[in-house]
């Protein structure tokens, strides 16, 4: 059985207006963090026993606040705990303004073979509006520098539906992304969550019509440029899908290290409480972990929800094998009206959305539960 490793790095230099991830802008404890992560990894070594570790993903937060030496220390420590000989993809999420030539070279030497760069926009006004710490020129320079350092697997993140600037800014962002030719592009709609800086400031989301327009612009431009729209928010060149995220979507078990990180063993979910101080004080404190076992119904709902966001969709045969003929039949019947109206596509035992209908996927998915 395959497995994945996620390492959460909850440090940032400043708060982006839309962000609701667990993080802190105090960097005081950053130097202590690699040892804490490795202590947790050691204590949880048994959780990956009998599996083949395929990917490692350092996400955040801002993992590029780590020096290459710190990244190397973490990866070396992980390799002492688990067999990493079959790990094909090691991703580091990075902010453009951390990516000096020296750092990039160091990350490569440390074993990172994929970068996910948080560009978000190539428009300075939008970047200021979102309180990002880089500007557009830095974003372009980071991608070029990553290429020069020898990275041949780059992903960039973009945000659409930004209230500042119209759809023409989004069109330019897409064009610029295509020109820079990353192997992978993730594009998310800006959401305004309670408790975020935008939420507190009362920033209003854009109108639905513009959201749809920007989503379809994205799909059209990137697929015409040869990208595979393989998940609702993700596009990849041939053979360059995110192996880590694809593993999540297939239900592959994973261990998540660090405060706020989630883990999944195939049947139950567990998570570390988002409390950095307690974590640094005792990263193996059992009181910091919580878990829940998913009922069969919760598992099938998860499979439907996540699967229908991918281009491959869901397989009724798999549902039958795992959850019984009755549940598969129920799903097929519930899907029927959507298949008849053309909202869902039925191909043999598979059900999937085409990209246009992903826009209404949430409403349809809940009808299949």
Shortest separation between residue 37's beta carbon and ligand SF4, angstroms = 17
Angle between helices 296-307 and 316-323 (to 10 degrees): 170
Nearest Cα neighbor of 246 from 344, 114, 367 is: 114
Select 157 or 285, whichever has its Cβ closest to ligand SF4: 157
Q: How far is 119 from 132, CA to CA, in rounded Å?
A: 9
Select 22 or 107, whichever has its Cβ closest to ligand SF4: 22
Mode of pairing for the β-strands spanning 345-347 and 350-352: antiparallel
Shortest separation between residue 18's beta carbon and ligand SF4, angstroms = 7
Shortest separation between residue 10's beta carbon and ligand SF4, angstroms = 8
Shortest separation between residue 14's beta carbon and ligand SF4, angstroms = 7
Shortest separation between residue 226's beta carbon and ligand SF4, angstroms = 29
Q: Which helix (H) or strand (E) holds 271?
A: strand 268-272
- Any bridge partners for residue 231, and if so which? 234, 310
Shortest separation between residue 1's beta carbon and ligand SF4, angstroms = 31
* Assigned token pair, 47: 């959780």
Per the listing, tokens 């990516």 go with 99
Q: How many CB atoms lie within 10 A of CB 46?
A: 7
Per the listing, tokens 């549940």 go with 327
Are residues 221 and 40 in contact, defined by beta-carbon separation less than 8 angstroms? no
DSSP assignment string, 12-51:
-SS--TT--SS-BS--TTGGGHHHHHHHHHHHTGGGGTTS
Select 155 or 310, whichever has its Cβ closest to ligand SF4: 155
Select 19 or 79, whichever has its Cβ closest to ligand SF4: 19
Q: Write out the residues near ligand SF4 by the rule CB under 6 A.
A: 12, 15-16, 19, 21, 23, 60-62, 95, 118
Select 6 or 230, whichever has its Cβ closest to ligand SF4: 6
Torsional sign, CA 135, 233, 367, 267:
negative
Of all residues in the shown chain, the one whose CB is closest to ligand SF4 is 19
Select 201 or 333, whichever has its Cβ closest to ligand SF4: 201
Shortest separation between residue 294's beta carbon and ligand SF4, angstroms = 27
**Which DSSP letter does residue 258 get?**
S
**Which DSSP letter does residue 163 get?**
S
Select 9 or 48, whichever has its Cβ closest to ligand SF4: 9
Are residues 219 and 229 in contact, defined by beta-carbon separation less than 8 angstroms? yes
> Distances in Å between the alpha carbon of 87 and those of 83, 90, 234?
8, 7, 22
Shortest separation between residue 95's beta carbon and ligand SF4, angstroms = 6
Select 16 or 303, whichever has its Cβ closest to ligand SF4: 16
Nearest Cα neighbor of 246 from 91, 49, 107, 356 is: 91
Shortest separation between residue 173's beta carbon and ligand SF4, angstroms = 17
Q: How many CB atoms lie within 10 A of CB 2?
A: 15
Q: How far is 118 from 127, CA to CA, in rounded Å?
A: 11
Select 21 or 330, whichever has its Cβ closest to ligand SF4: 21
């Amino acid at each position: 059985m395959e497995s994945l490793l996620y390492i959460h790095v909850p440090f940032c230099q400043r708060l982006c207006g839309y962000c609701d991830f667990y993080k802190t802008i105090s960097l005081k404890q950053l130097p202590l963090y690699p040892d804490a992560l490795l202590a947790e990894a050691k204590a949880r070594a048994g959780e990956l026993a009998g599996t083949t570790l395929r990917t490692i993903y350092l996400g955040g937060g801002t993992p590029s606040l780590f020096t290459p030496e710190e990244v190397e220390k973490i990866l070396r420590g992980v390799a002492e705990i688990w067999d990493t000989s079959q790990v094909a993809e090691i991703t580091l999420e990075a902010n453009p303004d951390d990516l000096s030539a020296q750092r990039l070279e160091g990350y490569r030497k440390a074993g990172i073979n994929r970068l996910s760069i948080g560009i978000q926009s190539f428009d300075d006004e939008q970047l200021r509006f979102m309180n990002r710490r880089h500007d557009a020129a830095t974003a372009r320079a980071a991608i070029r520098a990553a290429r020069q350092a020898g990275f041949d697997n780059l992903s960039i993140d973009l945000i659409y539906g930004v209230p500042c600037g119209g759809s023409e800014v989004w069109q330019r962002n897409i064009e610029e992304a295509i020109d820079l030719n990353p192997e992978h592009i993730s594009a998310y709609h800006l959401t305004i969550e309670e408790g975020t800086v935008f939420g507190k400031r009362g920033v209003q989301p854009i109108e639905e019509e513009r959201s749809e327009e920007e989503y379809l612009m994205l799909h059209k431009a990137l697929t015409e440029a040869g990208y595979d729209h393989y998940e609702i928010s993700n596009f990849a060149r041939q053979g360059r899908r995110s192996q880590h995220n694809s593993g999540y979507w297939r239900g592959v078990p994973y261990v998540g290290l660090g405060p706020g990180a989630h883990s999944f063993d195939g049947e139950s979910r567990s998570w570390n409480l988002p409390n950095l101080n307690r974590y640094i004080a005792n990263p193996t404190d059992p009181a910091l972990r919580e878990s829940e076992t998913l009922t069969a119904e919760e598992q099938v709902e998860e499979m439907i929800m996540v699967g229908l966001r991918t281009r491959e969709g869901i397989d009724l045969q798999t549902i039958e094998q795992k959850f019984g003929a009755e549940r598969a039949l129920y799903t097929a019947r519930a899907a029927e009206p959507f298949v008849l109206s053309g909202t869902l596509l039925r191909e043999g035992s598979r059900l999937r959305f085409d990209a246009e209908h992903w826009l209404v996927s949430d409403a349809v998915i809940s009808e299949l539960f």
